[in-house]
Amino acid sequence: MPDYGHPITFGMSVYPSVDGLRETRQLAQVAESAGLDYLAIQDHAYNPEFLDVWTLISYLAAETQTISFVPDVADLQLRPPTILAKAAASLSVLSGGRIVLGVGGGASADGIAAMGGMRRSKREMVAFTEEALQIMRSALNGGVVEFHSDQHEVGGYEAGPLPPAPIPLWLGSERRGSA
């Protein structure tokens, strides 16, 4: 196994069901008591039985003290990169730096399209994601963000707030079929 110079960390994923909110809160508290580092929460906004990932993270962060949270993974097609960076930075400030920003292109093209997102080919999604990552990195560092392409148009966004510590940016993806 390669060693990338990072410490080994542990976490768990919770199911963000409306009906399971009490159990999810209890699992978050147990995970924290057990010393886990992360709690991951799915972002499938098009699923009617799921709570919104950012709202649930806010709720759970208020119910815990040390465990960090990661959207698993925030859907770039439904959440613009400047808004994702703003949400992550805001929650990082409010939670004392307990946010990791996990992002990806989305798991359900039909669900994304049903909520107003664009259908993209695999090649378009790769380019879209690469650009979104550049925008988010810039926004998380503060200052003015400008980016102009066929996929994104950011015209002088003044980024902030600055998080108390750098926010890790994780990319989640899966390979299905050909481009």
Could you give all domains of the chain from N- to C-terminal order, each with its CATH number?
11-171 (3.20.20.30)
- Token code pair at residue 141: 């560092």
Rounded CA-CA distance 50/44 in Å is 7
pLDDT digits (tens, 9 = 90+) for 86-115: 999 999 999 999 999 999 877 677 777 788
Closest C-alpha among 37, 173, 53 to residue 104: 173
Sheet holding 68-71, edge to edge: 11-14, 38-41, 68-71
> How many other CB atoms sit within 10 Å of the CB of residue 19?
9
Q: What is the mean pLDDT of residues 21-48?
A: 95
State the pTM of this model. Answer: 0.89
Task: Report the C-alpha dihedral over residues 45, 50, 55, 59, rounded to 10 degrees.
Answer: -160
Rounded CA-CA distance 19/11 in Å is 22
pLDDT digits (tens, 9 = 90+) for 107-145: 677 777 788 778 887 788 888 899 999 999 999 999 999
Rounded CA-CA distance 24/114 in Å is 27
